[in-house]
Amino acid sequence: MKTLTLLIAAAFALSACGGQAEATAEQATTQASAAQAAEPVATLNLDWDTFRNRVDEDFESAGFGFAKIPASMKPEGDANAARLTVMLPINDNLVGNIASDPATGKLTSITATVGANEDAAENLKNFSAAALMLSAAAGDDGNKTVGGKILKMAGDAVNEFAKQTEKDSTASVNKNFVENGVKYGIFVSGSMPVMMFAEPAENK
Give this prediction's pTM: 0.82
Q: For residue 97, with 0-12 CB atoms within 10 Å meaning exposed, 13-18 middle and 19 or more buried, which class applies?
A: buried
Listed in sequence order, the residues at least 6 apart from 140 whose beta carbon sits closer than 8 Å to its beta carbon are 54
Task: Give the model confidence (pLDDT) of 17-76 as tens digits.
Answer: 444 555 555 555 555 455 444 567 999 999 999 999 999 999 999 999 999 999 999 999
The domain spans of the chain are: 2-32+41-200
Q: Are strands 172-179 and 107-114 parallel, antiparallel or unpaired?
A: unpaired
| Beta-ladder partners of 91 | 94
pLDDT score at 191: 85
Query: Which amino acid makes up residue 86?
Result: V
> How far is Cα 144 from Cα 44, in angstroms, rounded to an integer?
18
